[in-house]
Structure 1
Amino acid sequence: MAEHESEHAPYETYRGLPPLGGVCAMEEATAPGLSVDESVGRLKRFHYALKRLHRIFVSRLTAEPIYELKLSYSHHGHLCAEHVSSLRRRVGEMREPPLGLEDVPDGNLELYFDEIQSAPNTEELVMGLYGQAIPALAEALRRYRRETHPVADAPSVRLCRFALLELEDMVAFGERALASLVDDEARLAMAPWLATLKEMLSAAGGLDGTEPVAESLVERWHSKTPYVFDPIPQRDERFVDPYNAGVNPEAFLYDEAYPARVRTLMMYYKRIRELDVPEMMASVIEQTPDKPWDYYAEMTRQLWDEARHSMMGEIGFASLGIDWRKIPINFTWSLNINTQLKPIERHAVLFFIEQGLMPKTGKRFEWEVAFASGDPLSATFQDFDWADEVLHSQIGRRWYVTQMGTLNDAIDYGDRCWTQVVSDWKGYVERGLTEHRNWWPELYREACERWGTSPDPEIMNYATTYESQRADLKEIPQASG
């Protein structure tokens, strides 16, 4: 390019306006760039990498105990899904029927992602994702932007630009996560495996296939044992007493005898407890094969929304100066559904609960309580939570109701599936898992201290439990969505 520039005077535009619609300088545009075939080949590899990353994030979410990683896997899985969808559309525009988007582009590249999928612990998984695969994908996208034609291939350049913005955020998150979770000793212990990952990627010709490709496959390491999804939700040590059912937040929230501000406090609890919804939805996505891609993309969007709702509860408590770690965050909803129902039955329960949130006594009511409470943060959260749930109902109609025939059939089936789910409240006590203590008084007392008010004795003594409402000890609907 330097030789080319030396032979010609700089390109002059009318009155000094940027040339080519501001896309690039003329000097950049005079080099030929990649062919359509070369472009499609690389884009298909990016698509494959993002699709595999999406699956790893979603499939490892449920059994990941660390709260912050559950949230990041929810978020980053959604972002990967969005970019998969964009790349599918772009490849379809580039003279490429049949698209071949479900094909594996290289055997060693498949092994590379199998190895990360099968990482045996959190530290190696985080290293594989954020220390290896995501930086490699980001660098491949940068190379693509440098080498393709900025005008002829402008739609692909735009997709890569947007993907890079979010991948670089993932890399930055990963650097902090690795610094926190993986010390020098752990890095040394996993060095042979990391060397194997690098060997696999090199044998694949790099993530984008621009380097020489090996004829043989690299020997597997962790993935010698095929990955098996773990449906049992795990929580880290900050989640105290997760089997606790000592308080029924729904009964309190919908009792209009209590002040709105106090009910909003219980609503923050409901929001943070929604962590169990991504744990359950991940199991549905992972264990429901052979669906159109849009199914996985939309379901992952909903999964991310539910993770955001949990974050809303965490933020709400932080705004009041209340440590959520003192409160038992029950996880038996996801535990019981994941272990007692089939994937389609779990989806049915999710839709059934969502439909219960659509009437005026559902999400609108929660927004009204939040608005009446005088807490603008809660009002904002419930406003967007309500909007999210309307979207989720539409997602359910597209991907669940269509399997059931009619809306009434779908709701009836979800109701039947929900009645099958049993929580053994007495058994939890007998096995020493919980005492179902009433944690509400201490939370309410601490909130009153923050508000500068005295606790109301009647509110203080609230002690409606799930167990007291159901003689057969089955869990009543928690409306986790």
Structure 2
Amino acid sequence: MTEQISWLPTRHRRDRLMRLDAAEILKRFYYLERALTLACAGWVPDVSRLESKALLGRAAWQNAMTADASRTRVLELRYPDRTLEVGDDTGLVRLFEAALNAPSGAALLAAMERVFIPALRAGYEEYLRVTDDIADGPSRRFLEVAVREKNAQQGEFRKAAEIELGVRSGLRDEAQEWVNNLAALLERLGGVRLEAPPSGVEVPEVVEPGRHYRVIQHPARDDRYFVSDGFYWPDNFDPDFGYGEGFRLQLRSAIAHLNEVWAVETAGVLLAGFADELGWEFVVDAARWLYDECRHMLMGKERLEAWGFDPAHVPLGGYIYQACENQDLIYRLGMLGYFETKNIGKKQVRAREFAEHGDRTSQRDMDFDWADEALHAGYGRKWLRRALEVRGENPESWRGVLKRCEELANARIERATEEEKEAVRACAEALIADAERVMAQAHKG
């Protein structure tokens, strides 16, 4: 007679998710966050308000960080298996990927607030309810951060959508229809849950009335500012105008930061456009690049506001983005990398000069900017070479790309009309006069 072996009780509050179950769910989260990263980045040029552009850029970076942490954790849990196939999540992932094929940037803002963010947050919260620090502490840490970020994002996207659809009311009906169609499909898929979504739910690549994503050639501009046809300061086309000294240097540096809007938009379309070609490591770097450019843009915006300048007197251009109109995306990559390296040394000098004259805010912004740009210069060299390599070209031919970028920028300058130049000069001179009045009032006080 076989002796019966006794066991301790096996039911425990921590026993729901096994290692491979957790890996499967986190893989789902990775693909969903990846899809939203690309969508947020790609639509940056199509929203008008600077705050909306910055929100999309920051959300893209935050989403990429969550996706990267999820991806890394999946590979840890599945070791030595290194595969990351979509598998049973195809329908749900396809729905989130449809975010890139939005009808407009404003529609994406609305869909993020009403559909995508609540769904992902619910999935994260359900995961956190059934796991614990002992078994899966690493996952809990980054998902708890993600939940906090999603809570903040939802309110910010709601406000941004209201503003953008107010500014461009003609987009409202289309946006509403698209969001409703996304929500209906998500409901059929059961939302973002721990269980795999049901099979048999047909999800189109483009959810009506969306359209296939294309790089936006003509970015929307914030009409609160003096929106020029492309140039934002006379030295863009007149090297003799110069940055100047004293308050002129302060003013010109803030204008330069504000007008890194072109870099924000360029980084966004590069992330969306090269993600499949260059892979996940590129997405992570490009998301950081995008977020940093958003921060630089806001540095200028906040300094100019703190000095009390009327935005209507502040020039907002983007001729470098315009210079690449209808060009191969590799020239936008070269343009962003090329212009990142031009003034790195000067920024350190300017930071010291601001410090000497007590402008700690300008000093601090330029100091952090310098560190970011040094990092970005490395991104530019690395990914321009890699892009050439994956296209079957000599990676050392990157200098030819930069030469072409310089030609494109010069060609845009040569196309400038006298009326365009005069408008930018008049705006700059008026802003300088405003600055002189600000200084006079400060001395009286």
Do the structures match in fold with TM over 0.5? yes
Query: Structure 2 residue aligned with 1:53, among 36, 42, 53?
Result: 36
Query: Structure 1 residue aligned with 2:340, among 336, 345, 354?
Result: 354
* Partner residue in 1 for 2:367: 383
* Pairwise CA distance, 1:443: 1.1
- Mapped to 1, the partners of 2:290 and 2:175 lie a distance apart of 31
* Pairwise CA distance, 1:124: 2.5
Q: Secondary structure at the match of 1:62?
A: helix
CA contact (8 A) 1:349 1:415 kept: no
- Mapped to 1, the partners of 2:377 and 2:222 lie a distance apart of 31
* Partner residue in 2 for 1:213: 198
Task: Go from structure 1 to structure 2 and tell me whether the alpha carbon gap of 1:192 and 1:299 turns closer, same or farther (over 3 Å shift).
Answer: closer
Task: Go from structure 1 to structure 2 and tell me whether the alpha carbon gap of 1:325 and 1:101 turns closer, same or farther (over 3 Å shift).
Answer: farther
* Partner residue in 1 for 2:5: none
Query: Structure 2 residue aligned with 1:129, among 101, 112, 129?
Result: 112
How many matched pairs?
A: 423
CA contact (8 A) 2:178 2:209 kept: no
Q: Match of 1:56, as an amino acid? A: A
The question of 1:38 aligning with 2:21 is answered yes
Q: Match of 2:298, as an amino acid? A: M
Taking the TM superposition and a 5 Å limit, the aligned residue runs for 1:21-420 are 30-95=13-78, 97-101=80-84, 103=86, 105-180=88-163, 193-210=178-195, 213-218=198-203, 221-222=207-208, 225-243=211-229, 245=231, 247-248=234-235, 251=239, 258-288=244-274, 289-337=276-324, 339=325, 341-359=327-345, 362-401=346-385, 410-411=398-399, 413-420=401-408
* Pairwise CA distance, 1:207: 1.4
CA contact (8 A) 2:354 2:363 kept: yes
Q: Match of 1:215, as an amino acid? A: G
Task: Go from structure 1 to structure 2 and tell me whether the alpha carbon gap of 1:195 and 1:433 turns closer, same or farther (over 3 Å shift).
Answer: farther
CA contact (8 A) 2:47 2:106 kept: no
* TM-score, normalised with respect to structure 1: 0.78
* TM-score, normalised with respect to structure 2: 0.83
Q: Match of 1:153, as an amino acid? A: D
Q: Match of 2:259, as an amino acid? A: R
- Mapped to 1, the partners of 2:353 and 2:104 lie a distance apart of 42
CA contact (8 A) 2:259 2:316 kept: yes
Q: Deviations over 1:280-315 (max 9, x none)?
A: 222322222321311111122111111111101101
- Mapped to 2, the partners of 1:428 and 1:254 lie a distance apart of 18
Task: Go from structure 1 to structure 2 and tell me whether the alpha carbon gap of 1:229 and 1:434 turns closer, same or farther (over 3 Å shift).
Answer: farther
Task: Go from structure 1 to structure 2 and tell me whether the alpha carbon gap of 1:91 and 1:384 turns closer, same or farther (over 3 Å shift).
Answer: same
Q: Match of 2:77, as an amino acid? A: M
* Pairwise CA distance, 1:424: 4.7
Structure 1 unmatched ranges of 5 or more: 1-27, 456-481
Q: Secondary structure at the match of 1:160?
A: helix
Q: Secondary structure at the match of 1:208?
A: coil
- Mapped to 1, the partners of 2:433 and 2:14 lie a distance apart of 70
- Mapped to 2, the partners of 1:365 and 1:189 lie a distance apart of 50
Q: Deviations over 1:154-190 (max 9, x none)?
A: 1111121121121211112123334545689998876
Q: Match of 1:208, as an amino acid? A: R
The question of 1:421 aligning with 2:409 is answered yes
Q: Match of 2:316, as an amino acid? A: I
- Mapped to 2, the partners of 1:381 and 1:156 lie a distance apart of 34
CA contact (8 A) 1:109 1:200 kept: no
Q: Secondary structure at the match of 2:43?
A: helix
Q: Match of 2:352, as an amino acid? A: E
Percent identity, please.
22
Task: Go from structure 1 to structure 2 and tell me whether the alpha carbon gap of 1:446 and 1:434 turns closer, same or farther (over 3 Å shift).
Answer: closer
* Pairwise CA distance, 1:106: 2.7
Q: Match of 2:26, as an amino acid? A: L
- Mapped to 1, the partners of 2:163 and 2:27 lie a distance apart of 34
Q: Match of 1:55, as an amino acid? A: L
Q: Secondary structure at the match of 1:222?
A: coil
Task: Go from structure 1 to structure 2 and tell me whether the alpha carbon gap of 1:50 and 1:70 turns closer, same or farther (over 3 Å shift).
Answer: same
CA contact (8 A) 1:205 1:211 kept: no
Task: Go from structure 1 to structure 2 and tell me whether the alpha carbon gap of 1:50 and 1:452 turns closer, same or farther (over 3 Å shift).
Answer: same
* Partner residue in 2 for 1:451: 439
* Pairwise CA distance, 1:364: 1.4
* Partner residue in 2 for 1:17: none
Q: Match of 1:273, as an amino acid? A: N
- Mapped to 2, the partners of 1:74 and 1:51 lie a distance apart of 14
Moved more, 123-132 or 68-77: 123-132
Structure 2 unmatched ranges of 5 or more: 1-10
